[in-house]
Amino acid sequence: MDPKAYLLIRINHAKRRIEVGITSSKTHIVHTQVNGKDARAIYHTIAKKKLLTYPEHYAYLGRELMKAQIALSMRLKYTQDAPLPLPKLKKDIF
C-alpha cells in the first residue's frame, strides 16, 4: 500500500474515457480525479503531480491504465487487478 494514496481505476464506456480516483490511504476519500481517453496522458498527469510514493506503484499504474485503454478501445469489460476478457482466437488463424 502506498503511504500517500491508492487508485480506483474504471472505464466509462458512455463517455468513452478512463477515470482514475486517487484516494487518501488515511481517510479513504477520493481527493483527486484524473479522466481522459489516453493512458499515457493520465499517467503523466498523476506522475507530474507526484500523487504516489514508490516507483513500483507507478509501474502498476501504467499497466492498469494500458489495460483500461485496450478495454475502452475494444469495448471490453475492465475490472481493476483482473485480466482482460480478450476474445479467443481461432486455432487455425495462422
Residue 90 included in any domain: no
Cβ atoms of 20 and 49 closer than 8 Å: no
Q: What is the pLDDT confidence band of residue 92, given thresholds at 50, 70 and 90?
A: low
Total of domains in the chain: 1
Q: Closest by alpha carbon to 16, among 34, 33, 38? A: 38
- Grid cell digits, residue 89: 482466437
Q: What is the pLDDT of residues 18-72, one digit of tens each?
A: 999 999 989 999 999 999 999 999 999 999 999 999 999 999 999 999 999 999 9
The model carries a pTM of: 0.88
**In the predicted model, what is the mean pLDDT of residues 6-15?**
97
**In the predicted model, what is the mean pLDDT of residues 65-80?**
96
Between these two residues, 91 and 46, which has the higher pLDDT value? 46
Residue 88 included in any domain: no
Supply the range of the domain harboring residue 34: 5-75
